[in-house]
Structure 1
Amino acid sequence: SLRSRLCDNFTSLFQVAFRTGDFTRQVIFIGGLADGLLATDYLEPLSLALEVEKWSLVQPLLSSSYTGYGISSLEQDALELDQLIGYLINKDNSEGVILLGHSTGCQDIIHYMQTNFACSKAVSGVILQAPVSDREYRATLPETGEMIDLAAKMISAGRGMDLMPREANSDAPITAYRFHSLCAYMGDDDMFSSDLSEDQLKQRLGHMSTTQCLVIFSMADEYVPEYVDKKALVDRLCRALGDSEKVEIKWGNHALSNRVQEAVEVIVDFVKREGPKGWDDPWS
């Protein structure tokens, strides 16, 4: 059956997920580039706060975790996320999950919800924490322009899966495809840039309008260039997402390490309110 196949798939890929609390409702945390376990300071206190509400916190190690992001893609992450949710449904009788994305993990969630994979029906809510533009941040680095040109040439020569030179990305090997996806205008990862038009944002984010969604935006996010009007950007993103809720965290940095308690409270408040109200069985 599809149910047992999903479990087999998840375990055969040697994917690992760490869970705190043994409950039938789960918050799945998806980190950003180079993130792994306990990627943000708020995760440990969050796991304790969720336990009180009878929710588990699940932290998967995807093949894109740590230094794997450069040789992966949103497509691959979505596939692995679907297998994880399938596993939770089959093995833990999950009653539904809430996806919590940090940084580039937000792109994973947006992409996953567009795939309409079987298990995406089990997602009862989504939290996007620090949905910021990798492209706009990378544009502030001197080598980016030249490297985008090189990546585009490699892709058009059919070498999208080949690795870029080391100076393109100093902390992990990266393929021409993933570099282009993260750094080029309207690349696959380009979802939250301030220079995208209303139509482009809607095209990228509009499918989220059927999902309960909360945007948590750090108003002192160090990965958002100075010239970006953060307030205006948050409003535009929320509109494109289908009038999603927003919480602006004044003085908060990218990972909210200086606003841990506030982060936990905001997340738990949403989780309590948007708990599963029953979801369609993906196998019916």
Structure 2
Amino acid sequence: MATSTPPVSCGEATTATGLPEIADPGKVAPRDARELSKSFFDRLRVLEEGTPEYQYARNTLIEMNQSLVRFAAGRFRSRGSGEMEDVLQVGTIGLIKAIDRFDLTREVEFASFAVPYIVGEIKRFFRDTSWAVHVPRRLQELRVELAKAKELLATRLDRDPTVKELAELLDLPEDDVVEGLVATNGYTAGSLDMPAGDESHARGSTRTFADVVGEDDPAMEKVENLHALAPLLEQLDERERRIVRMRFGGEMTQSQIGAELGVSQMHVSRLLSRILTRLRDGILVDG
């Protein structure tokens, strides 16, 4: 018995697969997309995967059902419009997974089947990318539990709860609660260009966190000097390098070095002075 073809809003031509030829699937109205999807899914399950006909049916389903992605993504609009393009792309991945796993014989509307896949993919995206500093998944999940517990206890106690109270409510060791609270700081990151404190901002001060947080590491200059010394040491002859190793690597005295080399302590002193002057001059030239 012949089956009727659902109405197509953009033309009645059909492809070699017997499916409607849709010039711009993305412009198909959601109501028409629901009806057309049934025909495309019906053909998709009998077409050979990888063939042009299969790809046409699958790609058309993806484009026709983008309205489901936009609907699901709308739930997350409050997270920030700057990420909406990424959210739509991630939601499309969920849509594709739903298309590949959908079975018409289940007698379930595709929209009802697909939306949980799309939403799940978007939630996974936020869970994995919203943290400014990467922390283990266990601590990411603990952050959510801690937030709920803090809100509950704050309402009940009319004050911020202590670590001990949070631990008792969640039935967790206090160390785990502390670890979770510390990890929460990695959820967002502030700019070093932000004003350094409310009082500073109120006074109109231009001091930022970059001005008051952190300082030069004194060890950095040592690292730079050691890096610059490496090629200069290579320019010394074997005897000079040996003297440097004994004096600064082996921490030998000048007398001990003289005894090792068979020369006087005074001669070792002159040799060291000449070597160090050469190295120092080399660093200053490189700087």
Q: Could you say whether these structures have the same fold, taking a TM-score greater than 0.5 normalized by the shorter chain as the test?
A: no
Q: TM-score, normalised by structure 1?
A: 0.20
Q: TM-score, normalised by structure 2?
A: 0.20
Which of the two has greater strand per residue?
1
Bigger RCO (CA 8 Å, 6+ sep): 1
Which of the two has greater helix per residue?
2
Decide which structure has the larger Cα Rg and report it. Answer: 2
